[in-house]
Amino acid sequence: MTSRDDFIGQLEGYLDDFEGMTPLPDAVRDAVRAQLPTNKQIGPISGLMRDITMNTRIPAPARYGLVAAVAVAAVVLAATLLGRGPNVGGEPTPSPSPLLLSVLGAGPLEAGRYVTDQADPVFPIAVSLTLPDGWSQTWALEKAGVNISFWSVANISSDPCRWETTLLDPVLGPGVQDLVSALEAQVGRTGTTTTPVAVDGHSGQLMDLDWPASLDLLTCDRSEYHLFEGPGGDAPRANAIGRHSMLWILDVDGARIVIEGTYPQGGGAAERAEIQAIVDTMQIGPAS
């Protein structure tokens, strides 16, 4: 005859001998106690437990160990299936929320996860991304002459230098290909290429284009060169000539967005790779 306390002791002894010094968690101890009979006698045992206890060819210590192992396994399995298992690892640590780029103001950014402000009327879609060390926020995300910015496109000019007088009428269509075709048709540029692409599962086109390598901005409207126009007239504009742009033009649930990465002409693989690595971390949310 074996009391409940003796049996609990055998369970702990089994764990000490065969699993290292691992005490029973309180939740498992309570569950095991709840499964034991309330009287001092162990009643009839059936199934695997009976086969183990009745097999006289197994030494007594080993029989106790096998019984203990089966009991613990059964209790832990039942508790897990019922969602009541012991919390061995503790509560999961939540990931920190991304920081809003639009409220940080200009200045250096620590390495980490950031998100665009979905309430921004110029770009009403949340895009989260991971930045490495060395990046800052100005009018865009910037590092040593490399920029990343986000755009909604309302319209486009056929001549980016004469952007006030050559806006398309009727206005630009809403699709990805509408913008691709209009950019390809702009005057004053050469060497534009496009490649099918997807970012976070959203398909579109990656367009590579060079801004004019030599242009007197004083000859342009308001001394500015506008690639396209955003809501309210905001636009990617030249404050220096000789830039190269990578434009991810994407369809996000029916809304067209543009992610622009730029670097100086004459740059190459390293600049492209840094921009691409950040784009690869992007997750794009729904339109507001």
Instruction: State the burial class of residue 101 (Cβ atoms within 10 Å of its Cβ: 0-12, 13-18, 19+).
Output: buried
Measured distance CA(101)–CA(113) in Å, rounded: 10
The verdict on domain 99-287 having CATH code 3.40.1000 is yes
pLDDT in tens, the chain (288 residues): 445 456 556 655 554 554 444 555 665 556 545 554 444 443 443 443 334 333 444 454 444 443 444 344 444 333 443 444 444 455 554 455 678 786 667 799 999 999 988 777 778 889 999 999 999 998 889 999 899 999 999 999 999 999 999 999 999 999 999 999 999 999 988 778 999 999 999 999 999 999 888 888 889 998 888 889 888 777 766 655 788 999 999 999 999 999 999 998 887 899 999 999 999 999 998 755
Cα atoms found within 13 Å of the Cα of residue 285, Cβ hemisphere only: 14
What per-residue confidence (pLDDT) applies to 52? 33
- The full set of domain ranges for the chain reads 4-81, 99-287
User: Quick one: which of 161, 172, 152 has its CA closest to 232?
Assistant: 152
pTM over 0.75: no
pLDDT of 287: 59
Report the pLDDT value the prediction gives residue 238, as an integer from 0 to 100.
Answer: 60
Q: pLDDT at position 242, please?
A: 82
Q: Is residue 56 a contact partner of residue 50, using CB atoms and an 8 Å limit?
A: no
Task: Give the span between the Cα atoms of 133 and 206, in whole angstroms.
Answer: 26
The one-letter amino acid at 128? S
Q: What is the pLDDT of residue 279?
A: 98
